Amino acid sequence: MNYFVSYNTDIGLRKNTNQDSIAIKMMDTPGGRAVFAIVCDGMGGLSSGELASKEVIHAYCDWFDTSFATAISNGVYNVEEIIKTWRMLAQVENQKLAIYGAKQGAGLGTTLSGLLIYQDKYLMVQVGDSRIYELTATGVKQITEDQSVVAKEVAAGRLTPEQALRDPRRSILLQCIGASPTVEPAFYRGTVQPETSYLVCSDGFCHEVSHQELLDQLGPQACTDPTVMRQNCIYLTDLVKQRKEQDNISLVLLKVY
């Protein structure tokens, strides 16, 4: 499989720093091309959120560059071992950030949404409320589930999705890396089809755009080449800002063809 890749990140309208961190990694292997995309939405005073998101990004990118690369070069691709490693990384980073925050007298944390595609399969890891979507010619599907108070209320039938968008508890997470006593990531697996796009984004991007707008701008039929993808990522970022989204805004887009 081959990929077009694009991204955009923006400080947004209100914050003094961009506390989101993003990364895209690709690797050519004997078994085909592997691609890894990750978005972390940091939270905390001053530069603390930025530090938290960057620390987690670095940990997972280092895994891809070293452990994953070594295993693949040796002909080993074990999804269960990857899940164990990803879980361990989230828990180790949770402890490290908690210790750092206690020493500095500052609370800090970050979400995590990561996507690995290899040999027509995907594996996703999720902590918090950043999101991963799958876009096909026929529609948009949110694969990950938000780990937030309002998402729990929607699932229980106590809020509608429309009410959740404006609920004052929208930003309250059930867990995040660095600020939770324990962290248990969620994992998602599936099969990848050609002519499919995958969107990894922070919550600042997704709240103010509809599924139809995502499909029209970021769906596989709209993503004719990386230049167009980049233009469309910027267009939707600007649209989100016009609709008065206050948070940092970040997205990574992959098209499989």
pLDDT tens figures, 16-42: 999 999 999 999 999 999 999 999 999
234 lies in which domain range?
3-256
Structural domains of the chain, count: 1
**pTM of the predicted protein model:** 0.96
Residue 165's pLDDT is 82
Q: How far apart are CA 76 and CA 91, in angstroms?
A: 24
pLDDT at 228 exceeding the cut of 90: yes
Tokens read off for 23: 């990364």
Can you give the CATH number for the domain in which 148 is found? 3.60.40.10
Using DSSP's 3-state secondary structure scheme, residue 68 falls into helix
Q: Other CB atoms closer than 10 Å to residue 245's CB: what's the count? A: 22
What is the pLDDT of the chain when averaged over all its residues?
Answer: 95
> What whole-number distance in Å separates Cα of residue 85 and Cα of residue 75?
18
Output the six-digit token pair for 199: 């969107």
| Contact residues for 68 (Cβ-Cβ < 8 A; gap 6+) | 27, 34, 36, 82
Residue whose C-alpha is closest to residue 86's, from 183, 14, 1, 206:
183
